[in-house]
Amino acid sequence: MDLKRALESYKWAEHLKNSLIMSSQLLASVPSYPENERGGATRAVITVLELLRGDAQRASHATGEQPFLRAAEELSGAISLAESREYGLAAERVGMAISQVTTSAQGAWERLSADGFV
């Protein structure tokens, strides 16, 4: 991995990891909402997941890293599960997306570390 790609991958990975952790926490909170608020909360969380899926796709395109694309696929699954109100299972899929993003971050970190940047 060249240095420019490592920097780009690391930037995308850190952005996505933080956002995915937040979205997982949002998914976990939806069942605690009053029933009459869950529909709106679900739509809001799905919107966040859709935005993150787009970010993961852009990260894959910008870096050529397949784990970002796999993270986007996991987010598609999480969106479908959230639409079915399967919030726990959706959060698990977000966790799988985090794992994929972490894979890209690790490779980038190794290159940046080897070159003395971190």
Q: Which domains does the chain have, with CATH numbers?
A: 3-114 (1.20.120)
**pLDDT tens per residue, the chain (118 residues)?**
788 899 999 999 999 999 999 999 999 999 999 999 999 999 999 999 999 999 999 999 999 999 999 999 999 999 999 999 999 999 999 999 999 999 988 888 988 888 787 7
Q: Kindly report, residue by residue over 6-21, the tens digit of the pLDDT.
A: 999 999 999 999 999 9
Among the listed residues 31, 23, 14, 83, the one whose alpha carbon sits nearest the alpha carbon of residue 51: 23
Q: Kindly report, residue by residue over 59-77, the tens digit of the pLDDT.
A: 999 999 999 999 999 999 9
